[in-house]
Amino acid sequence: MNVLTVLAGTAAGVLAGRRLPDRVRETVLQGVGLTTLVIGAQEAFKTRNIVFPLVALVVGGAVGEAVGLEDRVETLGEAVRRRFERPGPPVGADSTFVEGFVTASLVFCVGPLTILGSIQDGLGGPGHAQLLIVKALLDGVVSIVFASTLGWGVGFSVLTILVYQGGLTAAAGAADSVLTGRMVAEMTATGGLMIIGIGLRLLDLKQVRVASFLPGLLIAPVAVALFGR
pLDDT tens column, 60-69? 999 999 999 8
User: In total, how many domains does the chain have?
Assistant: 1
Higher pLDDT, 29 or 156: 156
Q: Is the pLDDT of residue 168 over 90?
A: no
Rounded distance, CA 23 to CA 8, Å? 20
Average pLDDT over residues 44-55: 92
Kindly report the average pLDDT of the chain as a whole number.
Answer: 80
Q: What is the pLDDT of residue 172?
A: 75
The answer to whether the predicted template modeling score (pTM) of the entire model surpasses 0.85 is no
Average pLDDT over residues 169-188: 78
Q: What is the pLDDT of residue 162?
A: 87
**Residue range of the domain that includes 142:** 2-227
Rounded distance, CA 167 to CA 163, Å? 6
Average pLDDT over residues 26-49: 83
pLDDT band at 90 (very low <50, low <70, confident <90, very high): very low
| Alpha-carbon distances, residue 203 vs 181, 197, 206 (angstroms) | 33, 10, 8
CB 14 within 8 A of CB 159: no
81-95, 121-135, 139-153: least confidently modelled range: 81-95
Q: What is the pLDDT of residue 91?
A: 45
